[in-house]
Amino acid sequence: MKKALLLCSFGLCSLLALAQFPYSGTISTTDPKFNRPDPGNPPTTISTQGVGVFYDVIPLTITTTGLVTITSSTTTLNFDLVGFLYGTAGFDPLNPLTNALAGDDDSGPGTLNFAVTYNFTTPGTYYIVVTTLKPPLTGDYTLTLTEPGPLPVRLVSFSAEKTTGGSLLKWTSAEETGISSYEVQHSTDGVSFKDISDGTVKAVNASTNSNYTYVDANPYQKLNYYRLKIAEKTGATTFSTVALVNNGKNSNKLMAIFPNPTANVLRIQPATGQNGKATVAVLSGAGQIVYKSDYTFLEGSIVTVNLKKLSAGSYVVRVRTADGQISNLRFVKY
């Protein structure tokens, strides 16, 4: 089948051909180049390793909502594939973080293939970007899709807290179906996560709520970010939200935000004892409210604020809790 490409100019994209799956293609030296993002859900940073990599764009038409996994395979030796999914607004290679929904590197079969999993809630034409770990890799690939299905698990809550024995992680799931395990991942910067060697917790697969705990007995002395990699029996994986434990000085007093500076999202860690409804507002340098929404704060959990629509600049995030407490924290968006 003819290779499907999405031509982008000044942020506008035109579709040349629709793809049928399984889809086979080739990354070659005649393909366009871009600076790819780092994998993520969604991607939030540009890779320092993937500068000037070749890429293909394959349209994906979704008619039935549900959870879909896009998996790559290749016959080319040492061909390390990376995949990204973009929303219905299209893909702009000059702004590769815009409209990015998900990205993956090595979750597919073997160690060099990707498996991007996304829960489609709206039918439409989405876009798969197939690229490589670094330049100038080239080779063949094949993409396969799973049929849309229901989410295999619903996380009711996920939190982390500092204890004398280490970082205590707690999570509650509901309606587990076909879950193999929960793998606890750790990060020191909230961006790059690694599996904890003994952090695999077997799933119960109960129709009612299931409660889980895990203790990281050797956390870092400062910031510790945690998330769950949820492994399904089919081989697909999804990720939880991020929870933060601060083991630094005065770690049990103040609200914290990260990353700062940030590109697309700002994460807020509530202060000790802050639980319940809270109003989060973002103010521009001129003092105008450019974003405002209500959230539910749970001690030990993380609230994520989407900043994609804001221009670069200096802002203040203002948090008003249900008891009337107000916190103002300054951050920079680039």
User: What pLDDT is stored for residue 99 in this prediction?
Assistant: 94
Interstrand relation of 100-104 and 81-86 (parallel, antiparallel or unpaired): antiparallel
User: What pLDDT is stored for residue 27 in this prediction?
Assistant: 96
How far is the C-alpha of 211 from the C-alpha of 159, rounded, in Å? 12
User: What pLDDT is stored for residue 191 in this prediction?
Assistant: 66
How far is the C-alpha of 27 from the C-alpha of 268, rounded, in Å? 40
Using a 10 angstrom Cβ sphere, with 0-12 exposed, 13-18 middle and 19 or more buried, the burial of residue 194 is exposed
How open is the CA angle 27-33-37, to the nearest 5 degrees? 100
pLDDT tens, the chain, 334 aa long? 333 334 443 333 333 345 578 899 999 999 999 999 998 878 888 998 999 999 999 999 988 877 788 889 999 999 999 999 999 999 999 999 999 998 988 777 777 889 887 878 889 999 999 999 999 999 999 999 876 655 566 777 778 888 888 899 998 888 788 889 999 999 887 667 899 988 999 999 887 888 999 999 989 877 788 888 998 888 878 887 777 777 764 444 567 788 778 888 888 888 767 778 888 999 887 778 888 888 888 766 778 888 888 888 888 898 888 777 778 888 888 8
Which residues are within 8 A (CB) of 279 and not within 5 positions of it... i.e. 6 or more apart? 292, 293, 294, 295, 319, 320
Q: How many CB atoms lie within 10 A of CB 98?
A: 15
Prediction pTM value: 0.48
User: What pLDDT is stored for residue 10 in this prediction?
Assistant: 32
**Cβ-contact 91, 57 below 8 angstroms:** yes
How far is the C-alpha of 142 from the C-alpha of 152, rounded, in Å? 25
Question: What domains sit in the chain, N to C, each tagged with a CATH number?
Answer: 6-145 (2.60.120.380), 154-246 (2.60.40.10), 256-333 (2.60.40.1220)
User: What pLDDT is stored for residue 248 in this prediction?
Assistant: 61
User: What pLDDT is stored for residue 138 in this prediction?
Assistant: 95
Tokens (6 digits) for 138: 């080239």
Which residues are within 8 A (CB) of 175 and not within 5 positions of it... i.e. 6 or more apart? 153, 154, 207
How far is the C-alpha of 135 from the C-alpha of 5, rounded, in Å? 20
